[in-house]
Structure formats: C-alpha cells, structure tokens
Chains A and B, each alone.
Chain A
C-alpha cells in the first residue's frame, strides 16, 4: 500500500485563487518533500519539511506538517496558469538510512486563466 496518499486526486481552480493539496502517510518519517511535475517532464523539487518542523514557506508556497495526524498540506497562493501540473508528496521513512523516498499518487492541479 502507498505510504503517501494525496487528496484530492484532481483540483480545478481559477487563476488568482488559492490551491490546497493534502498528503497523508502511515509510518513515522524523517522528512516530507513536495515535487511538481509538468506534463511530459521530470519532477522538480519544491520544498522539504523535516519531522521537527511544523510550517515552511517558499515564495507562494506554504507547507504544513502535523506528525500527530501523519499529514501534510501544500498551499499555493494566488495561483497562476503556469502552476498547472501534478503535485506529489514524498516521504523519507525515519529508519531509512539510504535516502529512499516513497511517492504518493499525486494531485493534478488545473489553473484556468
């Protein structure tokens, strides 16, 4: 079964609106990362949040982590058409010393101009 599960699977919003994507996981983590994938391209790293952090910001991105609920959320503020992509959360398990990431199924975001 998947370690990370994103919700919703698909999200469609208008330009200028905020987009929120959620990720839940099952086992304790070392850190959680969010990646973006444009159609037909490789993944691009967005942000990493460690297990002892609760919130991080990067530009228009805000990530929260609640280890008690085993969940994370990614907020994109003032969305743009260029934000249209698939977004994946990836978890690094707490006992994994090799750096392996386990990816969720992704949220497909569509931002309409």
Chain B
C-alpha cells in the first residue's frame, strides 16, 4: 500500500513570495490533515478535511494560508505572502475513519525556509 505522498520535499523562498504544497493521501482515506511543525515543537493542526469539506480550520491563518481538497482526494496548501515565521515543516496526514480519531498516516513533509 502506497503511503502519503507530498511534494516538494524542500522549498526555499524569500519573504512575501508565494508557495504551494501538494499532498496525495492513502487511497480510500476520507480524512486529510495539514500540520505545521516548527523546529523543536510538536505538529500543530492547520486544517482538516473530511472528503471535500472542511471540518476544522480554526488555527489556519486565513489572511495568508489557503487549502483545498478537490474531488476528495489530493490537496494543496498555499501560503501567500510568506513571512519569516512560516519557516517550518508542513506535514500532510490521512486517516481512514470518519468522525473519530484513529491512526493518522503521515507523509514525509515539506521543509519550508523563508529568507
């Protein structure tokens, strides 16, 4: 079974530029999560999708971050414009079960450096 795929693995941009990350979850997984992990900290949930719909985006900085999950499969997370404090690893995860917390399967992450 293929795991969660993410691209790119690394990205370096200058502040005020825009960047997009892509995630392909495990086939059949209804729930998809985007996390931000700052160095030395645990992952923080940015947004959670259930199929096409948003379940939780309470910690997503909506003035600069946006995410979509078209057709309930792949997802993209965009930052525009980026700030220095956005430097972090962006992790995508998916889970099979809908509505209750279960095992989450994580991708390798995208390491973003904002200069």
Contact = CB atoms under 8 A, between A and B. Distances in A.
Contacts, number: 70
Nearest to B92: A42
Interface in A19-44: 30-31, 33, 35, 40-44
Contacts of A90: 42
Nearest to A42: B106
Contacts of B106: 35, 42-44
Contact of B45 (A2, A100, A106): A100
B102 A99 contact: yes
A97 interface: yes
B72 interface: no
A99 B101 contact: yes
Given A99-B99, A105-B41, A42 B107 contact: yes
A33 B4 CA distance: 19
